[in-house]
Amino acid sequence: MKNRQFLSVRLITLISLVASGVIIVLASSCGACGREKASIESDSLKGLKDFYMGYFPVGVAVAPNSLDGDQAELIRKHFNSLTAENAMKPGPIHPEENRYFWEHADLIVDFAQVYGMKVRGHTLCWHNQTGAWMFQDSQGNQVTRETALARLQDHIKQVVTRYKGKIYAWDVLNEAVTDDQDPAKIFRESLWYNICGEEYISKAFQWAHEADPGAVLFYNDYNTENPVKREKIYNLLKKLIEEGVPVHGVGLQGHWNISNPPAQEIRESIDKFSSLGLEIQITELDVSIYASRNDTINMGFTPEREQKQMDFYRTAFDMFREKKDFITGVTFWNISDRHSWLDRRERKCYPLLFDEDLKPKKAYWEVVRFW
Ligand code: G3I
């Protein structure tokens, strides 16, 4: 009897122990659930800029008409730096010799001021989107080297002075180095180069510096991960620095795609340019789901492409965080997949972190979760 009583006590104890274990396990897993839920909720309140607060500003290229409605809301939540996608380029902002069109650029700068955002200026000198008048006289003949340089000087002075103290960094010179894989050919055969020779490059930086000595001055280019082009850009920047030209940073545009460039080449570029003591910014980031601009097979945003894009973005931002001592900004080129400069009528490229409804894509979470 005593023995039976003892056994039943043992049994009850065992049952209660198992039961309490189950309760503890359940309780603790519910705690994890709650914590995870709370962290998802707090993460969704944060924007890209908040996750990257201790690293670098996160920017976006905008048009004035995107500073309104749901896009403006998204911009304010996620970004703390703006670049004008087109409004500050020489053609749009200076359409005729004696006429500047400030309205669109002003709207962007004003928006940034109101919401406490930085502004990168893009761009003071480029072979593209520059008024034909810049290179022609009243008879339509090509101007002399002196006239072209004088016009460039005036343009830079007017634009930089207007936004002095409001634009903290300028892409002074955009895409001046050739893509030609012949190592002997350095410069793009632009009108600037053909009319003025190499000199326009150092002058452009000097004039920008004179107009705003506080601005950080960048050389900006694409395909900076191509080893031949990288070497040419490196040599050009090294020479400018040795000559005392005020160049402070290099912009890697970052028009990449899910297959290219290899992460190792991006790393090599960051390391090589920063070894010159230059700041690095990723100035025009997007990651197309197509391997090339000529890839016209429209397969859409398939799960495979989505996964590759997630992997690309995760690897890239892991590297950017690792290189935070050299990287002083990362800017996306356009806001969401609703509109990208890459889209053609027959295909969309889905290159950004937000979808057409402005919702964060899976790639977004790869960028903001630091493992
Ligand atoms: O503003 C006119 C408008 O008046 C006209 O009705 C319309 C008709 O097509 O064209 C409008 O201009 C277009 C402009 O974008 C504004 O939408 C131009 O045709 C078009 O060529 C221009 O494209 C821009 C492109 O630079 C020009 O090369 C893209 O928006 C812009 O995203 C892109 O940005 C460049 C960076 O500055 C430098 N790095 C490469 C990057 C991508 O090409």
Is 117 a member of any domain? yes
- Of 44-48, 53-57, 175-179, 324-328, least confident by mean pLDDT is 44-48
Give the number of the atom of ligand 1 that is nearest the alpha carbon of residue 174: 38
Is 6 a member of any domain? no
Centre of ligand 1 from the C-alpha of residue 86, in Å = 6
Alpha helices in 59-214 (DSSP H): 69-78, 90-93, 103-114, 145-162, 191-196, 199-211
In tens, the pLDDT along 90-123 reads 999 999 999 999 999 999 999 999 999 999 999 9
Kindly state if the Cβ of 101 falls inside 6 Å of ligand 1.
no
What integer best gives the mean pLDDT of the chain?
A: 91
In tens, the pLDDT along 118-174 reads 999 999 999 999 999 999 999 999 999 999 999 999 999 999 999 999 999 999 999
Centre of ligand 1 from the C-alpha of residue 60, in Å = 16
Model pTM score: 0.90
Helix (H), strand (E), coil (C) string for 240-300: HHHCCCCCCEEEECCEEECCECCHHHHHHHHHHHHCCCCEEEEEEEEEECCCCCCCCCCCC
What domain count does the chain have? 1
H/E element holding 10?
helix 2-45
Kindly state if the Cβ of 65 falls inside 6 Å of ligand 1.
no
Q: Which residue, judged by its Cα, is nearest atom 27 of ligand 1?
A: 129
Q: Give catalytic residue positions.
A: 175, 284
Is 318 a member of any domain? yes
Which CATH number belongs to the domain containing residue 161 in this structure?
A: 3.20.20.80
Is 225 a member of any domain? yes
User: What 3-state class would DSSP assign to 81?
Assistant: strand
Kindly state if the Cβ of 221 falls inside 6 Å of ligand 1.
no
**Which structural domain, as residue segments, surrounds residue 286?**
48-368
Q: Which residue, judged by its Cα, is nearest atom 16 of ligand 1?
A: 86
Is 347 a member of any domain? yes
At residue 231 the predicted structure's pLDDT band, cuts being 50, 70 and 90, is very high
Is 284 a member of any domain? yes
**Nearest-5° angle of CA 223, CA 228, CA 230?**
55
Ligand 1 pocket test: pick from 60, 62, 86 the residue with the most ligand atoms within 8 Å of its Cβ: 86
Centre of ligand 1 from the C-alpha of residue 225, in Å = 24
Is 11 a member of any domain? no
Is 1 a member of any domain? no
